[in-house]
């Protein structure tokens, strides 16, 4: 195994475990609810704790990455996740909330830092490598919940969390020594202050909409199929796996496909496919078109986030590294706000199908932002997806 492989494999493994940690609360929530005798409103506060922690970690990640380097930032992030997971299943409700918040902070640190690290080390293959890396995160997010649920069927919650803690602690130990991975190598600063501010603001808005759209589709798929389409549980249950499977397949395809498209065209193509797929499953009246739309939406969305990060890093240099925390925090905020808005509009109109058109509005606004970004930044068109 080459020295490069020794660096790459732990980073991919780490991002897969980050995906497991991000989706961990879903499968363990019933155990926490039962153990502490919580109602739904009280149990929902765990999601607020994880979200608040992730926002705080994301905001701190850019500064920590430029100050400590990639290795130490990943050590701090994985150590925070490990410590948070270790106490999340303890007997104290306050301690469990604190644990969930702490591993949220760790997720907020790890997710931007690991993308920045991959971007720094990728050279001319930044977009392809970021898509491959995010495919590893997706694999962890897809495989994590069923694996955790299977383990919980035969083991107490505390034992399952202790096993996950051990894996996270071992990974954190790997990143203790910065030479194991490259640090945050300073890049040439591109553009003036106004230009950089504009790129940061537009990227924040774009990823707010994208992550909101992705979480909106994922979060409301099952309810939409059951309530608006009248499907059977056994039929609509496959929609979640179909959506994430399409995202995973799309990212793997983008990682190994020859670099024939510019980054900007890849993003626009992804938005158009996601829009078409979303409209397809919202208006469809049959299961075939419903699932085909979900797959097309996932396939289109798959390339948008990693490629946008690649473009952002390619245009911003060191200042983009410092701004990355704000960008990822806005993305997380969109992931919470848009699904909430869909639920709010659905309750107001008593019509979930109409509320789902918010997803289409997100896609249209993303297209408009892409046009705006490309109009003010002609170099983006020449950025290659390699």
pLDDT of residue 165: 96
Instruction: Answer yes or no: do 197 and 171 share one domain.
Output: no
Give the tokens for residue 35: 């153990």
Q: Do 283 and 197 share a structural domain?
A: yes
Whether residues 231 and 358 share a domain: the answer is yes
For the residues of 95-131, what is the DSSP string, one character each? HHHHHHHHHHHHHHHHHHHHHHHHHHH-GGGHHHHHH
Full residue range of the structural domain in which residue 12 is found: 3-179
User: Which segment of 72-86, 189-203, 305-319, 340-354 scores lowest on mean pLDDT?
Assistant: 189-203
d(Cα 27, Cα 2) in Å, to the nearest integer? 37
Q: For 16, what's the count of Cα atoms within 13 Å in the CB-facing half-sphere?
A: 17
The pLDDT assigned to 363 comes to: 95
Packing angle of the helix pair 263-283, 287-302 (nearest 10 deg): 160
Do 165 and 206 belong to one domain?
no
Kindly state whether residues 107 and 173 are assigned to the same domain: yes
Q: Using alpha carbons only, what angle is made at residue 299 by residues 20 and 280, rounded to the nearest 5 degrees?
A: 120
Residues 172 and 230 in one domain: no
On whether residue 290 sits in a domain, the answer given is yes
What are 181-237's pLDDT values in tens digits? 444 444 444 444 545 577 888 999 999 999 999 988 887 877 777 777 776 766 666
| Residues 351-356, mean pLDDT to the nearest whole number | 89
Report d(CA 112, CA 109) in Å as an integer: 6
User: What CATH number does the domain containing 164 carry?
Assistant: 1.20.1250.20
Q: How much is the pLDDT for 193?
A: 52
Q: Kindly state whether residues 169 and 200 are assigned to the same domain.
A: no
Q: Rounded to the nearest 10 degrees, how much is the dihedral formed by the CA atoms of 180, 181, 183, 189?
A: 160
pTM: 0.83
Average pLDDT over residues 327-350: 89
Mean pLDDT value across the chain = 84
Q: Are residues 85 and 169 in the same domain?
A: yes
Q: Does 295 lie in the same domain as 339? A: yes
Question: pLDDT-based confidence at 13, cuts 50/70/90?
Answer: very high
Which pair of tokens denotes residue 152?
Answer: 């919980």
Q: How many domains does the chain have?
A: 2
Residue 180 confidence class, pLDDT cut points 50, 70, 90? very low
- Position 187 in a domain: no
Give the whole-angstrom CA distance, residue 331 versus residue 311. 16
- 179 — pLDDT class (breaks 50, 70, 90): very low
């Amino acid at each position: 195994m080459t020295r490069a492989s020794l660096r790459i494999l732990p980073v991919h493994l780490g991002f897969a475990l980050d995906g497991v940690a991000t989706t961990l609360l879903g499968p363990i929530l019933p155990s926490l609810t039962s153990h502490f005798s919580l109602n739904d409103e009280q149990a929902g506060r765990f999601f607020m704790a994880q979200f608040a922690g992730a926002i705080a970690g994301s905001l701190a990640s850019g500064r920590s990455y430029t100050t400590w380097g990639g290795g130490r930032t990943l050590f701090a992030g994985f150590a925070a996740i490990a410590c948070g997971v270790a106490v999340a299943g303890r007997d104290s409700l306050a301690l469990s909330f604190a644990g969930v918040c702490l591993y949220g902070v760790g997720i907020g640190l790890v997710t931007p830092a690991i993308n920045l690290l991959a971007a720094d080390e990728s050279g001319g293959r930044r977009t392809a490598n970021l898509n491959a890396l995010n495919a590893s995160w997706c694999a962890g997010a897809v495989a994590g919940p069923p694996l955790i649920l299977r383990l919980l069927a035969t083991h107490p919650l505390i034992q399952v969390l202790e096993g996950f803690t051990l894996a996270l602690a071992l990974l954190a130990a790997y990143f203790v020594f910065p030479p194991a991975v490259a640090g945050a190598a300073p890049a040439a600063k591109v553009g003036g202050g106004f230009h950089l501010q504009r790129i940061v603001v537009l990227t924040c808005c774009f990823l707010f909409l994208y992550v909101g759209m992705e979480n909106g589709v994922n979060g409301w798929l099952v309810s939409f199929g059951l309530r608006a389409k009248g499907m059977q549980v056994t039929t609509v249950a496959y929609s979640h796996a179909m959506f994430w499977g399409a995202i995973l397949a799309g990212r793997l395809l983008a990682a190994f496909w020859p670099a024939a498209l510019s980054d900007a065209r890849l993003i626009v193509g992804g938005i158009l496919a996601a829009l078409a797929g979303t409209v397809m499953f919202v208006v469809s009246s049959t299961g075939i078109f419903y699932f085909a739309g979900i797959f097309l939406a996932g396939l289109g969305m798959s390339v948008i986030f990693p490629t946008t990060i690649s473009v952002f890093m390619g245009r911003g240099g060191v200042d983009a590294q410092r701004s990355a925390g704000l960008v990822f925090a806005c993305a997380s905020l969109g992931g919470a706000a848009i699904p909430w808005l869909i639920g709010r509009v659905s309750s107001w109109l008593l019509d979930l199908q109409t509320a789902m058109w918010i997803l289409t509005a997100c896609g249209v606004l993303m297209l408009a932002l892409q046009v705006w970004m490309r109009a003010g930044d002609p170099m983006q068109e020449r950025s290659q997806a390699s």
